[in-house]
């Protein structure tokens, strides 16, 4: 994939993220806390990806930059899960501590390209995917509404697809990178598509939430 392909993929990803932010901004206030966290994370992620894109075009390294964002993202996603289902508060707290420790220790032990980027984010992705699977399972059992009409279902499913896809992708890239960097770079092209799915589903969850609020249902 050439420079043009990278630019197009990243551009589509950024447009999807911006669309999600716009849909979120249209939810009437006061918003539920987990949607406030979701919107704040979407804004932070958009700024992060745009900055990373600019740094990449300038030939600057970005792995420390993304490692720092991964820590922020972990805390926000666990906060969202804990607010959607109060029964997951202890699990979310434990995962936040474990994942944050893993990211910090990983970056401190080895600041070289590779481990500092891969292992720490891989651990955080696996932990977040596990919590999101539990959240969706509990949601399926407890929901009195069809899941396709529940905003939190789409919000959580988008996050699960993203982190669930990140785990095997990062594992594969870690081993491929050591032997064939060109193939590893090709595998990186899958990342924007996972992100596009995440924020497309996130945008739809915001549309559903806006409808619920305007109809006065508030999830009933």
The pLDDT tens digits of the residues spanning 33-64 come to 999 999 999 999 999 999 888 877 777 666 66
Question: Containing H/E element for 177?
Answer: helix 151-179
Residue range 153-157: mean pLDDT, rounded: 97
Is residue 25 over pLDDT 60?
yes
Domain coordinates in residue numbering, the chain: 3-215
CA distances from 190 to 47, 118, 177, 185 (A): 20, 15, 15, 10
The pLDDT tens digits of the residues spanning 60-71 come to 666 667 778 888
With H, G, I as helix, E, B as strand and everything else as coil, classify residue 59: coil
- Name the token pair of 58: 């300038």
Per-residue pLDDT band for 219 (boundaries 50, 70, 90) equals very low
Per-residue pLDDT band for 111 (boundaries 50, 70, 90) equals low
- pLDDT of the residue at 123: 83
- pLDDT of the residue at 188: 75
Residue range 124-145: mean pLDDT, rounded: 94
The CATH code for residues 3-215 is 1.20.1070
Is residue 20 over pLDDT 50?
yes
Per-residue pLDDT band for 1 (boundaries 50, 70, 90) equals very low
- pLDDT of the residue at 176: 76
- pLDDT of the residue at 180: 72
Kindly report the average pLDDT of the chain as a whole number: 86
User: pTM for this one?
Assistant: 0.88
- pLDDT of the residue at 217: 54
Place of tokens 């202890």: 90
**How many angstroms separate the CA atoms of 68 and 151, rounded?**
29
């Amino acid at each position: 994939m050439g420079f043009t392909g990278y630019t197009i993929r990243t551009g589509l990803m950024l447009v999807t993220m911006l669309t999600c932010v716009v849909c979120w901004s249209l939810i009437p206030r006061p918003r539920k806390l987990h949607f406030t966290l979701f919107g704040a994370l979407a804004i932070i992620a958009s700024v992060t990806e745009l900055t990373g894109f600019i740094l990449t075009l300038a030939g600057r390294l970005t792995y420390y930059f993304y490692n720092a964002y991964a820590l922020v993202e972990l805390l926000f996603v666990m906060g969202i899960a804990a607010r959607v289902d109060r029964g997951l508060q202890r699990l979310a707290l434990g995962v936040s501590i474990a994942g944050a420790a893993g990211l910090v220790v990983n970056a401190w032990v080895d600041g070289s390209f590779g481990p500092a980027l891969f292992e720490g984010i891989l651990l955080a992705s696996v932990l977040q995917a596990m919590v999101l699977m539990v959240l969706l399972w509990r949601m399926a059992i407890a929901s009195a509404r069809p899941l396709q009409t529940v905003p939190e279902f789409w919000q959580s499913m988008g996050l699960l697809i993203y982190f669930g896809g990140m785990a095997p992708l990062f594992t594969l890239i870690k081993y491929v990178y050591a032997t064939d960097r060109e193939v590893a770079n090709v595998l990186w092209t899958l990342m924007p598509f996972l992100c596009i799915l995440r924020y497309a589903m996130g945008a739809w969850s915001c549309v559903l939430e806006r409808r619920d609020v305007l109809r006065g249902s508030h999830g009933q």
